[in-house]
């Protein structure tokens, strides 16, 4: 089972190390992680996606909550949450029709084109991990030269 965890942590050096170390030490895995400072610069928001059964996710949440630098942990409900990841692909281009095809695909996913070259194109996509995976599968036959992803950022919708 995939889970999205949202953490409010102290914005101090070494916190990312402590959080990721807990996952390693207790035999859990991080699927993705993103960190950014919050409106109040004393705190950072970490969004961690991970896999596990209910018992494991429960244990991850409890162990994170136990950490003194972690102010708050929430397991977010996918259906009540806006969650997105930014992903940049460099895709191989063989000919002009490849370019058009990729442009069309990117458009369908709300992507943007960058660095258009004779032999490659960059596509920037902000989407859910599932959508990114779907795009990746479509782009694969052209040849994906390189890819960079930010990890998921997520916010729960208000009024839930």
Partner 1 sequence: MSGAKALMVAMEKEGVRQVFGLPGGANLPMYDEFARCDIRHILVRHEQSAAHMADGFGRVSRKPGVCFATSGPGATNILTGIATAQADSAPMVAVTGQVPVSMIGRDAFQESDIIGMANPVVKYAFQPRTASEIPESVRKGFFIAETGRPGPVLIDIPKDVQQNEDDMVFPNEFQIKGYHPWTDPDVANVERAIAILLNTERPVILAGGGTIISSAFAELQALAELLMIPVVTTFKGKGAFPENHPLSLGPIGMHGHAEANRIIDQADCVLAIGTRFSDRSVGTFEDFERRRKIIHMDVDPAEIGKNQTTSVAVVGDVRASLRIMLKLLENKPRLVEETAWLKNAKETKSYWKENLKIHPGEMGAAKILRKLRELLPADSIVTTEVGQHQMWASLFFDVIHPGTFFSSTGLGTMGWGFPAAIGAKAARPDVHVVDIAGDGSFNMTENSLATAVLEDIPVIVFLINNYSLGMVAQWQRTFYERRMIGVDQGQCPDYVKLAESYGAQGIRAQSLDELGSAIKAALASDVATVIDIPIDPEEDVLPFVAPGTPLKDMILPS
Query: Binding to partner 1 by residue 128, rule CB under 8 A?
Result: no
Instruction: Pick the closer one to partner 1 by CB: 70 or 93.
Output: 70
Q: How far is the CB of 140 from partner 1 (least distance, A)?
A: 40
Query: CB atoms < 10 A from the CB of 80, how many?
Result: 11
User: Residue 111 has which token pair?
Assistant: 């992507």
Q: How far is the CB of 18 from partner 1 (least distance, A)?
A: 6
The CA-based diameter of the chain, rounded to the nearest angstrom, is 56
From candidates 2, 29, 38, 66, binder to partner 1 by CB under 8 A: 66
Q: How many residues bind partner 1 (CB under 8 A)?
A: 20
Answer whether 58's CB lies under 8 Å from 1's CB.
Answer: no
User: Residue 62 has which token pair?
Assistant: 């409890």
Instruction: Pick the closer one to partner 1 by CB: 9 or 76.
Output: 9
Query: Binding to partner 1 by residue 35, rule CB under 8 A?
Result: no
Answer whether 5's CB lies under 8 Å from 50's CB.
Answer: yes
Q: How far is the CB of 159 from partner 1 (least distance, A)?
A: 26
| Dihedral over alpha carbons 108, 126, 121, 99 (to 10 degrees) | 0
Q: Which residues bind partner 1 (CB under 8 A)?
A: 9-10, 14, 17-18, 21, 25, 55, 58-59, 62-63, 65-72
């Amino acid at each position: 089972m995939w889970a999205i965890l949202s953490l409010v942590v102290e914005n101090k050096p070494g916190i990312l190390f402590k959080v990721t170390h807990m996952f390693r030490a207790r035999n859990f895995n991080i699927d993705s992680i993103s960190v950014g400072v919050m409106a109040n610069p004393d705190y950072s928001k970490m969004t961690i996606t991970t896999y596990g059964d209910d018992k494991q996710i429960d244990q991850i949440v409890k162990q994170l909550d136990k950490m003194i630098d972690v102010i708050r942990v929430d397991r977010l409900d996918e259906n009540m949450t806006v969650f997105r990841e930014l992903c940049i692909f460099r895709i191989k281009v063989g000919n002009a029709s490849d370019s058009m095809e990729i442009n069309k695909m990117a458009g369908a996913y709300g992507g943007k084109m960058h660095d258009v070259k004779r032999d490659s194109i960059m596509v920037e996509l902000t989407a859910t991990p599932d959508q990114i995976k779907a795009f990746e599968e479509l782009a694969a036959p052209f040849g994906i030269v390189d890819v960079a992803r930010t990890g998921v950022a997520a916010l729960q919708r208000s009024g839930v």
